[in-house]
Amino acid sequence: MSSRTSWLGPGMTRRLLTAVAAGAAAELAALGLIGAAAWLITRAAEQPPLAALSVAIVAVRAFATSRGVFRYAERLAGHDVALRAQATTREKLYRALIPSGPLGHRGADLLSRMVDDTDAVQDLLVRCLLPAVAALVSAVAALTAAAFLLPAAALALLAGLLVAGLLLPTVTAAAARRWSARLAPARAELAARVADLVHGSADLAANGAGDQALTAAAEADERLAALERRQARANAAALALGTLAQGLTAAAIVLLAQRSGVGQVATAVLALTALVSFEPVLPLAAAGERSAGVTAALRRLGEIRATPPAVPEPSEPASPPRAPLTVEVDDLVVRHAPGRAPALDGVSLRLTPGKRVAVVGPSGAGKSTLLSALMRTTGFESGTIRINGVDVRELSPDDVRASITGLTQDPYVFRASLRDNLRLAGPEAGDEELAGAVRRARLSGWVERTGWDAMLGEDGRTVSGGQLQRLALARALLHDPEVLVLDEPAEALDGGTADALMADLLDATHGRTTLLVTHRLHGLEGVDEIIVLEGGRVVQRGHHDELVTVPGYYRDLWESEALTTAG
Ligand code: ADP
């Protein structure tokens, strides 16, 4: 139960219990109503004095009214709790996913969980748990009443209820597994559609283009839903078989009652009570079909939920920072896990409007950690980060990321035209603006050769590492954040291509608040400050001209780079 209740937010367990109790009470009222009504009608046919019927008349009224009230309460509380649980689940999943940054190959799987699996929470409550409890209560009450009147009838009823409530749901659950094989191709199509969305999650987030990509995924989702509707029709056939079992059971009970001579009144009460006791049992066939998927979906969601959010949202976030932005980092300490050495240890830096700062250092020095802390995808242990004087812990992490963003470490090419690949960073951008960004990213030649409408991405035209970085740079320039972050733009490029890219990139970022993480020093003469990180600490800082004159990491790297270029 603990894994289930963990999907419920505060106060939801009480709501769920209310729904269960109301559902059970509604079924009991329905049974009471039919029993009392059957007794009343058949007894009235015997024309007794009116006083002999008065209790039954009151009972019928009471059951009829209370059934409606209980049913209403059950629907209200049940759907309330289910929708709340689903909303809580989605929110918790997003919160668990967003700060984790690029999802890489895990992304496709994670996204399909977001699309399909969160429905399982609602289904579990509304279509499985509540109906099962209601059916059980109703069946036990009807069997008890029948056993009291005629044990043989109770046995017939038990047989019928077992067929409809146990056998059919088991069969539909097995059929559901077979159906999943037919649904697989449709799911694969959906997965292909959302692959762009998934692999490019970091770029989408960085460029604010999530909605557009989500629409394409939603359409594929609709096609899958059409197939699922066919599956639903097959399940309706199972439901019809349940109805057949219901009719046969009632007929058998009438025969048994007549043979046993319990009288007309008892026969009517038995037969009608039996009929009604099937009503909550019949939907269990559909619940059986769903339960197989629900269990698997909940298990998958549990795995994601196990990841705690890296950065908590403040309870009352301060209003988003307004341009121009000054970002001040003071004595920042970041530790990725308790007990581990800090990844950043006492780092300070100041980004004023228009200032360009480069962060260099060996692998594992803490460069990416610094960017994550600034973009609020990683929390920090001590020190402060202030934007225009406001502590970032008082700001919503989303607001921080809206202002401090740019070129992520693994830019993604979407399966779309070159134009659309750029436009995701600026949906409103006209051709002029697109061409401007392409020009500043020094990509015009390639774009002219390739054509604005050429398809890129999976199955499309291949894009080289350098072109990919320039495409991402053009996107970042179009998106135009207050603080442009460039994370290792020249990584994985060969020396000449890397130097050319760095030179163009530094050209394009002139006058723009920029934080550049790089392992190539070529061109850094132009930036305002260079910070050298080693083992999470700032070991050197200053202008290029100063740093090359003193012994240390910077000068060593500069000299080895110069040697390689010369060689
Ligand atoms: P750089 O970007 O300079 O290569 P990183 O910021 O990626 O360095 O890493 C700094 C240190 O923090 C390294 O020791 C690295 O192993 C560790 N680290 C980075 N990210 C994580 C993480 N998500 N969980 C645990 N340790 C991490």
**How far is CA 561 from each of CA 62, 452, 499, 557, 564, rounded to the nearest angstrom?**
90, 36, 10, 6, 5
Rg (CA), the chain: 34
Q: Is the pLDDT of residue 414 over 60?
A: yes
Q: For residues 290 and 438, which has the higher predicted lDDT (pLDDT)? A: 438
User: Are the C-beta atoms of residues 411 and 469 closer than 8 Å to each other?
Assistant: yes
Burial of residue 551, with CB atoms counted within 10 A of its CB: 0-12 exposed, 13-18 middle, 19 or more buried: exposed
Q: Is the pLDDT of residue 343 over 90?
A: yes
**How far is CA 32 from each of CA 18, 277, 281, rounded to the nearest angstrom?**
21, 10, 17
Q: Is the pLDDT of residue 115 over 70?
A: no
Q: What is the pLDDT of residue 104?
A: 43
Listed residue (460, 509, 387) closest to 195, CA to CA: 460
Distance separating alpha carbons of residues 117 and 155, to the nearest angstrom:
40
Q: What is the pLDDT of residue 411?
A: 81
**Run of H or E residues at 351:** strand 344-351
Q: 285-294, 367-376, 516-525: which has the highest mean pLDDT?
A: 367-376
Q: Is the pLDDT of residue 1 over 50?
A: no
Q: Mean pLDDT, the chain, as a whole number?
A: 85
Q: Whose CA is nearest to atom 23 of ligand 1?
A: 336
Q: What is the pLDDT of residue 155?
A: 96
Q: What is the pLDDT of residue 329?
A: 96
- Any residues with CB less than 8 A from the CB of 461 and at least 6 apart, and which? 450, 454, 455
Q: What is the DSSP letter of 317?
A: P
Q: What is the pLDDT of residue 242?
A: 93
Which ligand 1 atom is the nearest neighbour of the CA of 363?
Answer: 4
Helix (H, G, I), strand (E, B) or coil at 261: coil
Q: Whose CA is nearest to atom 15 of ligand 1?
A: 364
Would you list the DSSP string of 361-427?
A: -STTSSHHHHHHHHTTSS--SEEEEEETTEEGGGS-HHHHHHHEEEE-SS----SSBHHHHHHTT-T
pLDDT in tens, 141-193: 999 999 999 999 999 999 999 999 999 998 888 888 778 767 767 777 788 77
Distance 214 CA to ligand 1 centre (A): 31
Q: What is the pLDDT of residue 567?
A: 53
**pLDDT band at residue 8 using 50, 70 and 90 as cut-offs:** low
**For residues 327, 468, 99 and 123, what is the CA-based torsion angle, rounded to 10 degrees?**
150
Lowest mean pLDDT, pick from 89-93, 139-143, 153-157, 258-262: 89-93
**pLDDT band at residue 442 using 50, 70 and 90 as cut-offs:** confident
**pLDDT band at residue 4 using 50, 70 and 90 as cut-offs:** very low
Helix (H, G, I), strand (E, B) or coil at 323: coil
336 lines ligand 1 (CB under 6 A): yes
344 lines ligand 1 (CB under 6 A): no
pLDDT in tens, 206-257: 888 778 778 878 888 988 898 888 777 777 888 789 999 999 999 999 999 9
Q: What is the pLDDT of residue 454?
A: 86
365 lines ligand 1 (CB under 6 A): yes
369 lines ligand 1 (CB under 6 A): yes
Q: For residues 339 and 496, which has the higher predicted lDDT (pLDDT)? A: 339
Q: What is the pLDDT of residue 509?
A: 86
Q: Is the pLDDT of residue 111 over 80?
A: no
**pLDDT band at residue 52 using 50, 70 and 90 as cut-offs:** confident
Q: What is the pLDDT of residue 2?
A: 41
Domain with CATH 3.40.50.300 in the chain: 327-566
Q: What is the pLDDT of residue 103?
A: 47
**pLDDT band at residue 426 using 50, 70 and 90 as cut-offs:** confident
pLDDT in tens, 455-477: 887 766 778 888 888 888 888 88
- CATH class, 327-566 region: alpha beta
Q: What is the pLDDT of residue 360?
A: 94
Among 307, 359, 360, 369, residue to substitute to test ligand 1 (most atoms within 8 Å of Cβ)? 369
518 lines ligand 1 (CB under 6 A): no
Q: For residues 291 and 78, which has the higher predicted lDDT (pLDDT)? A: 78
Distance separating alpha carbons of residues 39 and 265, to the nearest angstrom:
6
Domain with CATH 1.20.1560.10 in the chain: 12-305
Percent of the chain with pLDDT over 70: 92
363 lines ligand 1 (CB under 6 A): yes
pLDDT in tens, 64-82: 999 999 999 999 999 898 8
**Run of H or E residues at 430:** none
Helices (H), 441-486: 444-450, 465-479
Helices (H), 261-279: 264-278
Q: What is the pLDDT of residue 50?
A: 86
**pLDDT band at residue 307 using 50, 70 and 90 as cut-offs:** low
Which ligand 1 atom is the nearest neighbour of the CA of 533?
Answer: 3
Distance separating alpha carbons of residues 168 and 106, to the nearest angstrom:
37
Q: What is the pLDDT of residue 9?
A: 62
364 lines ligand 1 (CB under 6 A): yes
Distance 92 CA to ligand 1 centre (A): 25
**pLDDT band at residue 107 using 50, 70 and 90 as cut-offs:** low
Q: Which amino acid is at 411?
A: P
**pLDDT band at residue 427 using 50, 70 and 90 as cut-offs:** confident
Q: What is the pLDDT of residue 338?
A: 86
Q: Which fold is adopted by the domain 12-305?
A: ABC transporter transmembrane region fold (1.20.1560)
523 lines ligand 1 (CB under 6 A): no
Q: What is the pLDDT of residue 526?
A: 87
Q: Is the pLDDT of residue 122 over 90?
A: no
Q: What is the pLDDT of residue 527?
A: 92
Distance 272 CA to ligand 1 centre (A): 70
Model's pTM, two decimal places?
0.58
Tokens of 408: 């992520």
Lowest mean pLDDT, pick from 104-108, 346-350, 421-425, 534-538: 104-108
**Mind spelling out the 3-state secondary structure of 203-228?**
HHHHHCCHHHHHHHHHHHHHHHHHHH
